[in-house]
Amino acid sequence: MRSATLIQKEFPVPLNAPIVADLDEKSLLALIFPRLGADTALLGPGDDAAVIAAPDSRTVISIDTLVQDADFRLLWPSGYRTTGFDVGWKCVAQNVSDIRAMGAVPTSLVVSLTLPGSTEVKWVEDLADGLAAGISALASEQCSVVGGDLGRGSQIVVTAAVTGDLEGRAPVLRSGARPGNVLAHIGALGLAAGGLAVLESSFDMSDPGGAGDQELAGLVMAQCRPRLPRTGAGPDAAAAGATAMLDVSDGLVRDAGRIARASGVGIDLDAGYLRTRAASLAPAAVRLGADPLSWVLGGGEDHGLLAAFPPDAVLPEGFVRIGAVHDGEGVTFGGQAPPATGWDHFAG
Amino acid sequence: MRSATLIQKEFPVPLNAPIVADLDEKSLLALIFPRLGADTALLGPGDDAAVIAAPDSRTVISIDTLVQDADFRLLWPSGYRTTGFDVGWKCVAQNVSDIRAMGAVPTSLVVSLTLPGSTEVKWVEDLADGLAAGISALASEQCSVVGGDLGRGSQIVVTAAVTGDLEGRAPVLRSGARPGNVLAHIGALGLAAGGLAVLESSFDMSDPGGAGDQELAGLVMAQCRPRLPRTGAGPDAAAAGATAMLDVSDGLVRDAGRIARASGVGIDLDAGYLRTRAASLAPAAVRLGADPLSWVLGGGEDHGLLAAFPPDAVLPEGFVRIGAVHDGEGVTFGGQAPPATGWDHFAG
């Protein structure tokens, strides 16, 4: 008999749909693993630990977490319901992006799921599908989920650790930018922030795949299922001589500031170019009463790559010059204080 | 002004003590990282990802999570308050144990912390101290925290991914046990289960370090800060020819069953020896109205190592014969059905 206290308002489960509390760990794993596709490890899931290849005798590693009600809501004010697929995809995107930002190629993920008993089993299956689709689209055929952990909690928490292969290259740090370098970027700017604004708005997004508002639905997808730059972008930047690189997860100004601080340099962002980028978001921003430039400069979660290159470097395909590195400190916008900065996802 | 709703009954924070909500991510990280000790990575914390050495061109990897109210309580019925140190130590213990069970040596951890805003900053500092102490005692000088992630949530969730080095050896799987093998074990059996029983009891454990009940306090420590077998136990077992190995995290019968199933064999546990082990716990168990044999056979979280060896193998120091592998299936106890099994930490 299902306890009424397990039913959350945010997560209406059809009356006879199985929920996580109905299953033991083994049964739930048996539903998840077949959805993850072939594993690419030397030793995949099922033992105490997995074994992955590290061809150049180094492994790049990072960890990142998505928490319900902090990083996503199951039900947004706009009526959009975050799917398991969204969370699985986004988990891959934000993790893989950190590996690419070192100039490396993703090789594996281990994933820990903390789930309330009231979570619909189908939502968890969708999450597995989102992980698989995200890996297929954003990582490579050499990457897979090689292990995991399941536990119970009062909120959905999805943590992945991701590994990568530098393929013999030196990692590209944040600290190598030098005065005279070109600052370049590849990927979306401001779309995920726009999507967050739509999700938090009163526009009806309860059926984003329907025939409704495609402009706003596109922004919602950029927030919930971010598309990363092409898979070769990070390694290509490393090969082209990038002196510093990171993925823009907390906003362009804030993340440029991290390169400036780590490298002991100043960075001036190209105001003309970034205003043009903002102009393309203006129609949607006007409808939301928002400033598109604040999305471009301060919005996080787009996971584009921001890199510094020597002045004579040929920028890899897709990278666009968006600023210059100079002797000094801090980040300016056309020589002035930036009109918007980024966000601290932890503060508050 | 601190919101009254942030104050949890389980977690009474002194009125002027700083809590997590008072700090931004950077400030909290600045408190945590100096406590973690020297990092041993090729590239440690501070960039998008870390880079660790993989000397034999392979990396062992696993992930494990501790969730408040599922894996530990901040305040137990006995009055014991789980410290940050406990959680940090246990996080290391359960992760490192998975690496050792492959016959590998731990090389790094990446740690993700999800924290309620009401968490006292000192508790988080204690957690960092527990991570450092756990690594120092249970891993090696070649292991450290090389990266992490901080986020906010309604419960404390601590996830670590851990890596290991096989030092050129083949990993010891669960699937290689053969009829005629000796089943051997090293480590505690039933202590952590006894500790859980004490924590859930009405014995007063509010001051376990005091002059009070040392017998019960010892069990509490085995639950909250498990001591693992000596650091060389896993690699030594691999070198001695172990055909199968795992760490006993969910109970001896349940975990022996995993070797039996993966290897396609039957396992008979030595009833005489295990009754002797249970007898040493009887004084405490009697006081709690519990059956010590159920602790020994069904209790999890001791993180000893259970391994099968060829009949002519010399058991490495500390390993004790506790059973035999035979043609068949399942787990028996002196030829009979076991009087207790393990637990599914996910079900319920």
Question: pLDDT tens for residues A297-308?
Answer: 999 899 999 999
Total domains present in chain A: 2
Nearest to A40 by CA among A96, A108, A99: A108
Query: Strands across the sheet with B144-152, in order?
Result: A50-53, B58-67, B157-165, B105-115, B144-152
Residues pairing with A324 in the sheet:
A182, A268
More confident residue, A5 or A126: A126
Q: pLDDT value at position A38?
A: 87
Q: Which two tokens stand for residue A61?
A: 């590693």
- Statement to judge: residues A326 and A205 lie in one domain: yes
Q: pLDDT value at position A9?
A: 53
Q: Which of A208-222, A237-251, B122-136 has the lowest mean pLDDT?
A: A208-222
Q: Which of A138-147, B61-70, B218-227, B288-297 has the lowest mean pLDDT?
A: A138-147
| Among candidate residues A101, A135, A165, the one where a domain is terminated | A165
- Statement to judge: residues A146 and A209 lie in one domain: no
- Statement to judge: residues B147 and B186 lie in one domain: no
φ, ψ at B44 (rounded to 5°): -90, -155
Q: How many CB pairs under 8 A join A and B?
A: 238
What whole-number percentage of chain B has pLDDT above 90? 87
Structure confidence at residue B4 as a pLDDT band (50, 70, 90): very low
- H-only helix segments in B139-251: 191-199, 214-224, 233-239
Q: Are A188 and A226 in contact (CB under 8 A)?
A: yes
**Of residues B24, B57, B149, nearest to A65 (C-beta):** B149
pLDDT average, residue stretch A65-90: 97
B window 10-49, beta carbon within 8 A of A: 21, 23-26, 28, 42-43, 46-49
Task: For residue A308, give the amino acid letter.
Answer: A
Task: For residue B122, give the amino acid letter.
Answer: K
- Statement to judge: residues A61 and A153 lie in one domain: yes
Nearest to A281 by CA among A339, A196, A186, A183: A196
Chain A contacts of B94, Cβ < 8 Å? none
Strand extents, DSSP E, B10-56: 50-53
Q: Which domain holds residue A70?
A: 24-165
Q: How confident is the model over A102-141, as pLDDT tens digits?
A: 999 999 999 999 999 999 999 999 999 999 999 999 998 8
B7 pLDDT exceeds 70?
no
Does residue B209 belong to any structural domain of this protein?
Answer: no
- Whether B151 sits inside 8 A of A65 (CB atoms) is yes
Q: Give Dmax over CA atoms of chain B in angstroms.
A: 69
- H-only helix segments in chain A: 25-32, 84-100, 121-138, 191-199, 214-224, 233-239, 252-263, 271-288, 292-298
Q: Which two tokens stand for residue B78?
A: 């006995």
- Statement to judge: residues A250 and A125 lie in one domain: no
pLDDT average, residue stretch A198-206: 95
Number of residues that this document lists for chain A? 348
Determine if residue B318 is left, alpha or beta; phi over 0 gives left, psi from -120 to 50 gives alpha, anything else beta.
left
Q: Show Cβ contacts of residue A211 under 8 Å, excluding neighbours closer than 6 positions.
A: none
Residue of B nearest to A245 (CA): B48
d(CA B239, CA B230): 15
Does residue B294 belong to any structural domain of this protein?
Answer: yes
Q: How confident is the model over B69-95, as pLDDT tens digits?
A: 999 999 999 999 999 999 999 999 999
A83 pLDDT exceeds 90?
yes
- Whether B64 sits inside 8 A of A112 (CB atoms) is yes
Q: Are B310 and B177 in contact (CB under 8 A)?
A: no
What letter would DSSP give residue B171?
Answer: P
The helix (run of H) or strand (run of E) holding residue B29 is: helix B25-32
Q: Which two tokens stand for residue A89?
A: 């995809």
Q: Which two tokens stand for residue A129?
A: 């599908």
- Statement to judge: residues B34 and B127 lie in one domain: yes
| Among candidate residues A139, A165, A191, the one where a domain is terminated | A165
A228 pLDDT exceeds 90?
yes
Determine if residue B34 is left, alpha or beta; phi over 0 gives left, psi from -120 to 50 gives alpha, anything else beta.
alpha
Q: At what angle do helices A121-138 and A84-100 cross, to 10 degrees?
A: 30
Structure confidence at residue A342 as a pLDDT band (50, 70, 90): low
A69 pLDDT exceeds 80?
yes
Q: pLDDT value at position A4?
A: 38
Q: Which residue has the tokens 């069953």?
A: B257
Q: Are B327 and B266 in contact (CB under 8 A)?
A: yes
Does residue B214 belong to any structural domain of this protein?
Answer: no
Query: Tell me, what's the ipTM?
Result: 0.94
- Statement to judge: residues A127 and A226 lie in one domain: no
Classify B307 as helix, strand or coil: strand
Does residue B342 belong to any structural domain of this protein?
Answer: no
- Statement to judge: residues B328 and B299 lie in one domain: yes
Structure confidence at residue A207 as a pLDDT band (50, 70, 90): confident
The helix (run of H) or strand (run of E) holding residue B273 is: helix B271-288
- Statement to judge: residues B84 and B141 lie in one domain: yes
Taking the CA atoms of residue B141, residue B143, residue B146 and residue B150 in that order, the dihedral angle to the nearest 10 degrees is: -100
- Statement to judge: residues B245 and B305 lie in one domain: yes
B282 pLDDT exceeds 50?
yes
Does residue B197 belong to any structural domain of this protein?
Answer: no
Say which CATH number the domain at A33 has.
Answer: 3.30.1330.10
| Among candidate residues A104, A137, A165, the one where a domain is terminated | A165
Number of residues that this document lists for chain B? 348
Does residue B4 belong to any structural domain of this protein?
Answer: no
Q: pLDDT value at position A185?
A: 98
d(CA B294, CA B248): 15
Say which CATH number the domain at A323 has.
Answer: 3.90.650.10
Determine if residue B255 is left, alpha or beta; phi over 0 gives left, psi from -120 to 50 gives alpha, anything else beta.
alpha
- Whether B152 sits inside 8 A of A43 (CB atoms) is no
Structure confidence at residue A8 as a pLDDT band (50, 70, 90): very low
Does residue B170 belong to any structural domain of this protein?
Answer: no
What whole-number percentage of chain A has pLDDT above 90? 87
- Rounded to the nearest integer, the mean pLDDT of chain B is 93
- Statement to judge: residues A297 and A322 lie in one domain: yes
Chain A contacts of B348, Cβ < 8 Å? 21, 117, 152
Does residue A76 belong to any structural domain of this protein?
Answer: yes
- Statement to judge: residues A192 and A126 lie in one domain: no
Query: Strands across the sheet with A105-115, in order?
Result: A144-152, A105-115, A157-165, A58-67, B50-53
Structure confidence at residue B1 as a pLDDT band (50, 70, 90): very low
Q: How confident is the model over B107-140, as pLDDT tens digits?
A: 999 999 999 999 999 999 999 999 999 999 999 8
